Chains A and B, each alone.
Chain A
Amino acid sequence: MAIQAVSAQEPGLGRAPSPRRHWPAGLILSCAIVLGVVAAGLTAPWLTANSPLDQDLLQLNKAPGGDFPLGTDHLGRDVFARLLYGARSTLGISLAGTAIAFAIGAGAGLLALTFGRWPAAVLFALIDLVRALPGTLLALLLIVGLGSGPGPLTLALGISFAPLVAYVTRATYRREAARDYVQAAASFCGGRLHILQRHILPNIAGALVTQAAIILPRCIVTESVLSFLGVGSSPDAPTWGRMIADSSRFVERAPHAILVPLVALVLLTLALSTIGNHLRRSLDPVRDAADRTAEDADDDQPAERARPQLATA
């Protein structure tokens, strides 16, 4: 990489600038949106004087203007304040959910894969048992069992995405573990954990980061679906999904109360998935080619073949 970068900067060679330097407009816009949402969530108390929870029953379903820059909802709550505080809880819950999904899926998956055939076989057999249940339904059932509120919601999101992470982890791990240098390290009596930490982890980190960027927007969407179904976040920590859900019955009288969080949610997921796609292309360029050969070699389940593809699409 370093050599390529140097040669690209040399004037005499006349080579096109390396593709990594090129930042497409869509990517810059997406980064700006994500940074904006993060900033809004962090600085919410300073951006608005209104509380997201205060109800003003004299000002129900007010159109934007005056004291309320984005109007009020069906309980007279300030939509702008709810949007800002909602950015905080939406991102917080989804980030924590993604982290849990990786802790379970990638953490347990890698450990099991490292310690030989049987632990991995048992773990993936277990995951295989719940795979028939769609993620949303699994999360719904988990919330039924765990109770509602931010904690159980985050846990349910994490668990429902863990199988997907585990499959991707296994695919990348197998691809890497078959490489010559890993075999060489093993033949030098390198410990399994040492090989994992020193050789495999640095080489699959890119793929895992990419996967995280792809799962984060899906986490946000699933959270909003659960909130819409009335089992998601609690009323005191309003997420955008919750805002859409609350206002969906009053769409006739207060379209702004639903349009504002809806547009925000779509823009955020769109921006995040654009960044995820870009990361995939720049961090993990060999993935597609390598996957194809790996799949031909040990494709035991048809659905599994298409699943990682879908996850990265």
Chain B
Amino acid sequence: MARIVAVLASLLRGLLQAAFIVMLTFFLCRVMPGDVVDVLGLEGGLTVEQQVEMRRSLGLDQSLPRQFADWAGQALHGDFGRSIRFDRPVGEMLATALPVTAKLAALSFCFGIGLALLLAIAATARPSRWLDATIDFVNTWSIAVPTFCAGVAAILVFSIWLGWLPVIGGLLVPVLVIGVDNAGQVVKSLREELREAVMLPHVRTARAKGLSPWRIAFAHVLPAAMPIVLALSGLVLGGLVAGSLTMEVLFALPGLGSLTLNAIHGRDYPIILAAVTLIAVALVAINTIVDMLHRLVDPRLA
């Protein structure tokens, strides 16, 4: 019973978080200096009357709560409005951008967590100074080297000096860069967790029975540390979002990040709002699912 209540509570919290973030975004978009009409006015030389007329037709002259209520009502029905600059439905634009970002994020996540797990398990099964040094290096790398710096360096080295890879379009370099960054964020905590799990009595028994170190690591140590792996994967998300943003801009990938940034520069509210809403809802959903899974897996929490 207590577990069900806890799961429902985390669901409710997720909903509240998503709603709050959407409201915050809406408000920030509206207080930003210079709205879309100003930008278009500067570019296209609209007269004052035309600007007033445009504001009225876009509903920008109404009160903020009213505008938000209108927008939220339509958004709940799946209608995110039309882009002001491109005059295309926002939903359509998001649908073309989403797969690019989803692919980049999913591949980077798998590579990153896979690398972190591999390093941590290897260091548990066969402790060595080299592996620990590698783990330290990856961890320091993710702290000190921002993803876009690593991306720029990769372009410089692999594309320009060595001439191996095409600069633009390929997913390989972005996935490697974000993946290593993600791995560095979790690998150290993972290593510590596994180090503790090695001390557990059932692991000692397994070792006393003469099982191989790798078998012990995979079959006995890893399951015991699974809840923490789950929690850590949730933590990577922040780095994943920031990494995708910069990588999409740097490698000219037509994903959500590029779309959002172009919209910010052009003051195209419907796109900013819809894109951030999408990202926020996705993050909250993943966090909530991880949280609920965690509570289901680990009875001590609920």
Contacts and interface: CB of A to CB of B under 8 A. Distances in A.
A301 B301 CA distance: 8
A306 B235 contact: yes
B283 to A, nearest CB: 5
Interface stretch (B41-49, B95-103, B118-126, B149-157): B149-157
A133 interface: yes
Contacts of A132: 14, 17-18, 21, 280, 283-284, 287
A121 B265 CA distance: 38
Contacts of B283: 132-134
B235 A136 contact: no
Contacts of B228: 306
A129 B17 contact: yes
Nearest to B9: A300
Interface residues of A, number: 49
A132 B246 CA distance: 19
Contacts of B261: 229-231
A248 B146 contact: no
A258 B156 contact: yes
Contacts of B20: 129-130
Contacts of B18: 132
Interface string B13-48: 110111011001101110111000000000000000
Nearest to A142: B28
Interface in B259-302: 261, 264-265, 272, 276, 279-280, 283-284, 287, 290-291, 294-295, 298, 301
Interface in B172-231: 185-186, 188-189, 227-228, 230-231
Contact of A266 (B149, B272, B301): B149
B21 A265 contact: no
Given A144-B29, A269-B144, A273-B143, A133 B152 contact: no
Contact of A309 (B28, B139, B153, B189): B189
Given A136-B238, A248-B152, A141 B25 contact: yes
Contacts of A144: 28-29, 32, 264, 272
B28 A302 contact: no
Interface string A212-231: 00000110010011001111
Contact of B156 (A137, A224, A251): A251
Contact of A145 (B28, B246, B250): B28
Contacts of A93: none
Interface residues of B, number: 65
A231 B264 contact: yes
Interface string A121-156: 000000011111111110011101111000000000
B282 to A, nearest CB: 10
Interface string A275-313: 000000000000000000000000101110111011001
Interface of A is mostly: helix
A224 B146 CA distance: 8
B64 interface: no
Given A141-B24, A144-B272, A225-B146, A306 B232 contact: yes
A255 interface: yes
B94 to A, nearest CB: 16
Max count, chain B CB within 10 A of own CB: residue among A140, A230, A269, A306? A306
Nearest to B261: A229
Nearest to A129: B20
B134 interface: no
Interface of B: 13-14, 16-18, 20-21, 24-25, 27-29, 31-33, 139-140, 143-149, 152-153, 155-156, 160, 185-186, 188-189, 227-228, 230-232, 234-235, 237-239, 241-242, 245-246, 249-250, 261, 264-265, 272, 276, 279-280, 283-284, 287, 290-291, 294-295, 298, 301
Interface of A: 128-137, 140-142, 144-147, 217-218, 221, 224-225, 228-231, 244, 248, 251-252, 255, 258-259, 262, 265-266, 269-270, 273, 299, 301-303, 305-307, 309-310, 313
Chain A to chain B: the 9 pairs with minimum beta-carbon distance, closest first: A145-B28, A134-B238, A136-B242, A270-B144, A129-B20, A269-B144, A302-B294, A302-B231, A132-B17
